[in-house]
Structure 1
Amino acid sequence: MKNVHAYLIGAAMISTSMIISQGCTKSTDDDSDLIGNWKKSDDFEGNARSEAVSFTIGDLAYVCSGTATTERFKDLWEYSTSKRYWTQKADLPGVARNSAVAFSIGTKGYVGTGYDGSTRLKDFYEYDQASDTWTAKAEFAGTGRYDAVAFSVDGKGYIGCGYDGNYLKDLWQYDPTQDAWTKRASVGGSKRSAAMAFVVNGQAYICS
């Protein structure tokens, strides 16, 4: 049986509950199709919030930033999927924010952009899991924005779309070895914000 799990945090927007989609097979064949089967897991231990970001490193999941009514957050929480508990980690530098983006590359997590209540942001930070520290990296090279979309593929990170006063469809690539941004081909289709992205077999998909 394949060991495949997906995690959904705050299904009701401002919620601290977390549920797990655990893959279940209909046979003993390791290559057989899986059926999603949801069950409740351990409650998120930070403040209830919406518009947070998340990334994963190994079997650890991280939730950062977000908003609850008029309050914004910059705290970082780590969830151990094997030990099933939450641990608060070092706060994100910079201002508290919502509608940011995040992705991971190797053993590092990255968080940037977003909205602090008055400014559309473009600062960008790297989280080191081993030392529980953040480092400011090269600012996002596009315009300051929120509700962008982000993902990582083959050791590079990508941020695109979002809202900077206008809706956007540009796409930028981040190279952590050079700490540098490069503009790439714009996203196809309409300009958009608050989209979602996923990666399958080295191919990235953006939708909604």
Structure 2
Amino acid sequence: MTEFSDVVRNRRMTRAFGNDPVDPAIVDDLVDLASRSPSAGKTQGWHLVVLEGAATARFWDLSLPADKRASFRWKQLLNAPVIALPLADASAYVDRYAEPDKARTGLGENEAAWPVPYWTIDTSMAVMTLLLGAQDIGLGALFFGVFNNESAIRAELDIPEHLELLGAIALGYPVDNPDDEAQQGAGAGRSSIRARRSPDEIIHRGGWTGTPQH
């Protein structure tokens, strides 16, 4: 185990993986850790569809068909032995807040009663915890959007229509990516060379204008 601050500071999105499998027990441990993330009403209204080994092709064949892979920059991303799809369940939150101890909030009426979609927030926090957990044990992980053929992927994996698909997580053992190293610092616009904002640029103490309250 490393210090938490080191885990956070060293975490990176991994785009190059080796072929070594990840023990399913490790995935279980990471999900158990993620399940301890904050959850409104302890609803825990999120799910994870996990594809392992050869089964990851069920995702890639639809999200990145073979005829498009020649021009795909991150070819070693496809080596990731685990692809996990995080899903948020809004109905679980409506049902939970219709229970007697939460009914007074009015949030059990319907999804529209919620000023903020806590199902998305909670699932996102669980994903972040999983990413940090992977970093802590020496695994690489990448969260990325599912921008192509989502409907076909949902049908292939029998994902219920009412669940919100946040994206996908690739998980595995990281390897050096020569293509990435060759591009480091080459050309403007790469996210990795953007300056990190300082606390002074982020914090608005006392209000948006930053006027302290006394």
After TM superposition, is the score higher than 0.5? no
Compare CA radii of gyration and give the structure with the larger one.
2
Q: Which has the higher helix share?
A: 2
Q: Which has the higher contact order (CA 8 A, sep 6+)?
A: 2
Q: Which has the higher strand share?
A: 1
